[in-house]
Structure 1
Amino acid sequence: MTAYIVRRLLWMIPLLVGVSIITFAMLKRIPGDPVTVMLLESRSSGRVITEADRERLRKQYGLDKPAYLQYFDWLGEVLRGNLGTSIRMKQPVTEVIKQRLPNTMKLAGVSLVITLAIALPLGILSAVRQYSWLDYVLTAFNFVGISIPQFWLALMLLYLFAVEIQLLPVRGMRSPYVEPGFWNHLVDTVTHYILPVTSVTLASLAGYMRYQRAAMLEVIRQDYIRTARAKGLPEHVVILKHAWRNALIPIITLLGYVLVILVEGSIVVEAIFSWPGMGLLAVDSLQQRDYPVVMAIVMLSAVLIMIGTLLSDILYAIVDPRVRYD
């Protein structure tokens, strides 16, 4: 197992280099650059920008160099542990990420816990009671949930509960002003969480339920499950102890990406509800052509995907003793 993990970690190095080259090349293909965006914003405010100002800014940010030299400059700084400085916010990229990351982890973490707490039991129940009215209802819910786009669901929830009924806040994590007191702050925080958490949870609920149902249906037909029942074991012991453990393997594949979900969050939901997290940061940085921030977010995502995949493979061996890595 140790040799396998070491090999996987070493393979991450060329993969990350490839991801960085492709991402950097794609950013350079986007029309405009950070200086162009800055000049457009300055002109809209009435400021006069000369060509000398443009060249000075391009030289200041190293944009006057060929693209391959810009990439090597960025790579050299990364190897020294420096992710660069945000062109838009004039702060180190690490500081920008530290400010936004906790907000995304709070939203994604709460949504993930609620999703798993609902999806896994319902998936098991749907499989155990296959072809019952409950199974048909849950299957119909799954098809509807998978078919509805997340952005549409978030917009509908926003329109209904924040605009029409005006029951919940429209945006952000907290109100600009809250009456002093613990309960006032708690209620304000909870009300701001409801719509984003509901949007993320409903969007992912159907997928987890379908995976769990399909895995359980395959497992409960196995011979060792019939043998366990023939021994007279209680049904809940057969399902939870013998069947569910083996039915967790497909779910573990999805849980391998939990790290990415916790760090990157939902770009769509964060953008719609103006949630100050990593997803909204990625959207704003792309619009502003803030290359250092975009590169940091993409590379962080790539690292987490690789680590998540590796953790999934390790968990396979823990859940299923038959799985061995030589």
Structure 2
Amino acid sequence: MPITETDTTVVLTHPENQKSTVTILKYGATVYSWKLDGKEQLWLSSAAKLDGSKPVRGGIPLVFPVFGKCTDSVNHPELSQLPQHGLARNSTWEFLGQTTESPLTVQFGLYPEIANSELTKIWNYDFELILSVELGVDYLKTAIEVTNPLKATRELSFNWLFHTYLHVEDVEDTMVANLAGSNTYDQLLQESYTEVQPVIGFHEELDRIYRNVNPERVIQVVDKGHPLHSVKRSNLPDAVVWNPWIEKSKGMGDFEPKDGYLKMVCVEPGHVHDFVTLKPGAKWEAFQLLYKDELNYQAL
């Protein structure tokens, strides 16, 4: 069967290759495994909670309606009271079923009536989210639709991010390419600058937001000149690149093994440097596409 549903998960199996699968946890609508011909493409902590007790550490958590922790309590008082990364990854989504057979696609929905009630009491807005997960023979596409319902009485402002943990063999041999020339905010230095390095290497903790990245640019994760992952974005102008390294990994209880930072890098397409704002009745759509490609180096 191409689709297997349990009480907590949905598993897609590609009809042309039984070893290509994707597993989605209904809690958070989090993709926590994507295998291409049997080889895992995502990183998942061995201590990740898959029982709905907390957001998943690894895979592709969904960040909405706020990225990080909102500190602007004047302009966004409700958002500032939400936990880090909002409520989507803390809520159980409704499985809406299969939408197409080829490519194999399913959808999940989230709206205030079923979202985490403790958090919707804090952030009391109307919203409708539909996540589409599409499994190709050699790619994974995750697409989001955010609607501010016509019945809403006010504008909806939000961030969105696919918090994608990609598996690598050794992060010290790994580079992220095609972000040179981008306006960058370094969250560790708390400084903005233009990225001048042709590739991003990893030898210490790194946490950067690349803002308004050229939409034509394909971000690539490269290991010793060999492309491991290619990331294409639609309507997601920003990209966060993150690796916690040694000390931060030690401080996260659900990050295991503690040297797991060597096996992962987060490349996270999103809309986070400012807010998307929708009037009642308006809809916003975006997607990320993870796939394999030839080395496609794009200079400044």
TM-score normalised according to structure 2 size: 0.22
Higher relative contact order (CA 8 A, sep 6+): 1
More helix by share: 1
- The structure that has the greater radius of gyration is 1
- The two structures have a TM-score, normalised by structure 1, of 0.21
